[in-house]
Amino acid sequence: MLDLMLCLLGFQLLGEVLTRALGWPLPGPVLGLLLLFAALWLRRGVPAMLQRETPRFLGHMSLLFIPAGGALMAYAPLLRVHGWQLALILLASSVITLLVTGAVLKLLLRRRLQ
């Protein structure tokens, strides 16, 4: 699992370095994920190490919610004041995401059937 962690952290670091060097308004981990996707696409497959270790790694992903829970407790006063705005934004963005995803899927299925 150490190989997988080093691979993921390496792509995250590369994304962070690139976003800071180029001044892009994009989080480094997001760019790192895009770079990982591009590397896998160019390779035309997933390396055996990723295929083997990813299921074990995903089993521990719930640990990533611990910092988020701590942040909720730390920012509780701010959330009491502006929580309804945050909830409204999250609801609206979720609905928009679902609608756009559905429209893209419908378009792609229509193209595939033609």
- Going residue by residue through the chain, which has 114 residues, state the pLDDT in tens, using 9 for 90 and above: 788 889 889 999 999 999 999 999 889 999 999 999 999 999 988 888 888 888 888 888 787 778 878 888 888 898 899 989 999 999 999 999 999 999 999 999 998 887
**In angstroms, rounded to a whole number, what is the distance separating the alpha carbons of residues 41 and 88?**
37
**In angstroms, rounded to a whole number, what is the distance separating the alpha carbons of residues 32 and 41?**
14
| 48-72: b (≥16 Cβ within 10 Å) or e | eebeebeeeeeeeeeeeeeeeeeee
Structure pTM? 0.58
Q: Are 6 and 57 in contact (CB under 8 A)?
A: no
**In angstroms, rounded to a whole number, what is the distance separating the alpha carbons of residues 44 and 64?**
30
Nearest Cα to Cα of residue 34 among 55, 18, 51, 58:
18
